């Protein structure tokens, strides 16, 4: 199967999917001229947005992947192009929206699945809920084949803990009953490609690995793989964290991922952080 993918906000996860779509036409938006030039060298039709008109790209797409972060009012693309996307619905085979597991809020280390009520506790989570609902409202109005993917913490090449462990800046922040779920970027691409192959309009999927774990364990494993001592422990209350980093510690939950396996037949290449870190070290050093 081939098609024309319009990637709204062609970032880290979207690029991993695009590498899987051999023979497809890929149109990607970016805010930066230098990135647009780089995308064009990779064979991607790059558009600068905000700025350039997306109407023709929307009209010519068979598939849309939306991954632009929302603002206070929700999804910025829908603010400008909701009617255009609605008009394109008859020829759209698949639309994916990349959201976050932050929409579930804090569950004090408990498990969440796709049926868990959305009770975000951070601004980042609240505006994602707004954006999700805007896409769902448009889908209901226009018959859009919408799929929502709630991503756990993303890691992969260029986004791993090894550099901080090597240079001595890593700290193991200790907070009781703190759990994070993660997902390797290549497993995100696997899930998205599987959904494209098996469209199920209206579906929502958690995209996470099998092993939600305390963050300090991940850093300790990274150090072990490097043959270095574990980074020093710092109690959460004493940690010098940015407001954004601190906000991640206000929520603790473990994300269930059974649906991507049962509904999409996905087999994760990196089912836990141990497998993911080994691969990162092997492939990137």
pTM: 0.96
- Residue 185 sits at the vertex; the CA angle it makes with 176 and 252, to the nearest 5 degrees, is 20
Residue 222 lies in a domain: no
Q: Are 200 and 255 in contact (CB under 8 A)?
A: no
Helix (H/G/I), strand (E/B), else coil: 170? coil
- Res. 240: pLDDT tops 90: no
Total domains present in the chain: 1
- Res. 60: pLDDT tops 90: yes
CATH number of the domain enclosing 150: 3.40.50.720
Q: pLDDT, tens digit, for every residue of 128-173?
A: 999 999 999 999 999 999 999 999 999 999 898 999 999 999 999 9
The pLDDT of residue 61: 98
The percentage of the chain sitting over the pLDDT mark of 70, rounded to a whole number, equals 100
Separation of alpha carbons 6 and 37, rounded Å: 17
Separation of alpha carbons 217 and 224, rounded Å: 10
Residue 231 lies in a domain: no
Residue 46 lies in a domain: yes
The percentage of the chain sitting over the pLDDT mark of 90, rounded to a whole number, equals 93
The pLDDT of residue 285: 60
Residue 197 is part of which domain span? 4-156+181-211+255-270
Residue 78 lies in a domain: yes
Residue 76 lies in a domain: yes
Q: pLDDT, tens digit, for every residue of 247-276?
A: 888 899 999 999 999 999 999 999 999 999
Query: Which of 73, 82, 67, 79 is CA-nearest to residue 150?
Result: 67
Q: pLDDT, tens digit, for every residue of 94-138?
A: 999 999 999 999 999 999 999 999 999 999 999 999 999 999 999
């Amino acid at each position: 199967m081939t098609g024309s993918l319009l990637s709204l906000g062609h970032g880290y996860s979207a690029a991993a999917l695009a590498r899987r779509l051999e023979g497809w036409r890929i149109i990607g938006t970016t805010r930066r001229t230098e990135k647009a030039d780089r995308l064009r060298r990779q064979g991607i039709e790059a558009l600068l947005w905000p700025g350039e008109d997306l109407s023709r790209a929307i009209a010519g797409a068979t598939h849309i992947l939306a991954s632009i972060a929302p603002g206070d009012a929700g999804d910025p693309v829908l603010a400008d192009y909701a009617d255009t996307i609605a008009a394109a619905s008859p020829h759209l085979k698949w639309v994916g929206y990349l959201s976050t597991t932050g929409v579930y809020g804090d569950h004090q280390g408990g498990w969440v699945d796709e049926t868990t009520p959305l009770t975000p506790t951070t601004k980042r989570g609240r505006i994602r809920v707004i954006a999700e609902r805007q896409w769902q409202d448009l889908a209901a109005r226009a018959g859009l084949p919408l799929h929502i993917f709630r991503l756990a913490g993303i890691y992969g090449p260029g986004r791993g803990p090894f550099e901080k462990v090597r240079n001595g800046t890593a700290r193991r922040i200790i907070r009781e009953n703190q759990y994070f779920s993660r997902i390797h970027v290549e497993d995100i691409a696997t899930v998205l490609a599987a959904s494209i192959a098996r469209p199920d309009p209206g579906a929502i999927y958690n995209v996470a690995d099998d092993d939600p774990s305390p963050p300090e364990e991940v850093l300790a494993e990274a150090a072990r793989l490097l043959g270095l001592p574990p980074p020093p422990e710092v109690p959460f209350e004493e940690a010098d964290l940015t407001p954004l980093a601190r906000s991640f510690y206000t929520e603790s939950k473990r994300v269930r991922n059974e649906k991507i396996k049962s509904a999409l037949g996905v087999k994760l290449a990196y089912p836990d952080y141990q497998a993911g870190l080994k691969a990162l070290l092997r492939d990137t050093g």
